Chains A and B, each alone.
Chain A
Amino acid sequence: MDRLTDLWLYLAASPLLWLTLTLIVFMFALWLNRLAKGSPLLHPVLVSMAIIISILTLTGISYNQYFEGAQFVHFLLGPATVALAVPLYDHLAKVREIMALLLVTCVSGALVAAMSAAGVALLMGSMPETVMSIMPKSVTSPIAMGISEKIGGYPSLTSGLVLITGTLGCFVAPPLFRLMNIEDHKIRGFVLGVSSHGIGTALAFEISALAGAFAGLAIGMTGVVSAILIPLMARMLS
Chain B
Amino acid sequence: MLGGFVILLGCQLIGELLVRSLDLPFPSPVVGMILLLIGLMIYGEVPEGLRVVAEGLLRHLSLLFVPAGVGLMVHFKLIQADWLSIALALLISSVLTIVIAALVMGRMMSKDGEGKHGSAD
Interface of B is mostly: helix
User: Which chain A positions have C-beta within 8 A of B51?
Assistant: 86
Contact A130/B82 with A98-B112, A156-B72 known, Cβ cut-off 8 Å: yes
Q: Kindly list chain A residues whose C-beta atoms are within 8 Å of the C-beta of B71.
A: 63, 67, 154-157, 159-160
Q: Are A74 and B33 in contact (CB under 8 A)?
A: no
**Which residues on the B side are within 8 Å of A23 (C-beta)?**
63
A56 within 8 A of B: yes
* Residue picked from A79, A137, A149, most chain B C-beta under 10 Å: A79
Q: Is the interface of A mostly helix, strand, loop or mixed?
A: helix
Tell me, rounded to whole Å, the shortest Cβ–Cβ distance linking A21 to chain B: 10
The yes or no answer to A38 lying at the interface (CB within 8 A) is no
Query: Does B102 lie within 8 Å of A182, measured CB to CB?
Result: yes
Judge whether B97 and A109 touch: CB under 8 Å: yes
Contact at A227–B26, with CB atoms within 8 Å?
yes
Contact between A86 and B40 (Cβ–Cβ < 8 Å)?
Answer: yes
B71 to chain A, nearest CB (A): 3
Please state if B66 and A88 are interface contacts (CB–CB under 8 Å): no
- A52:B70 contact, CB within 8 angstroms: yes
Residues of B contacting A184 in the complex (Cβ-Cβ under 8 angstroms)? 106, 109, 119-120
A147 proximity list for chain B (CB < 8 A): 26-27
Task: Give every chain B residue within 8 A of A9 (Cβ-Cβ).
Answer: none
Residue A224 is within 8 A (CB to CB) of chain B in the complex: yes
**A130–B85 CB distance below 8 A:** yes
The answer to whether B78 touches A76, judged by C-beta atoms less than 8 angstroms apart, is no
Q: Which residues of A contact B15 (CB under 8 A)?
A: 82
Residues of B whose CB lies within 8 Å of any CB of A are 5, 8-9, 11-12, 15, 25-30, 32-34, 36-37, 40-41, 46, 50-51, 53-55, 57-58, 61-75, 78-79, 81-82, 84-86, 88-106, 108-109, 112, 119-121
Q: List 20 A-B contacts (CB under 8 A).
A: A25-B66, A66-B70, A79-B9, A82-B36, A83-B53, A83-B55, A85-B37, A141-B68, A142-B29, A145-B68, A146-B30, A154-B78, A160-B75, A161-B86, A163-B65, A172-B95, A194-B101, A196-B94, A223-B30, A227-B27
Known: A48-B66, A80-B61, A223-B30. 4 other contacts (CB 8 A): A57-B73, A104-B104, A120-B92, A182-B102
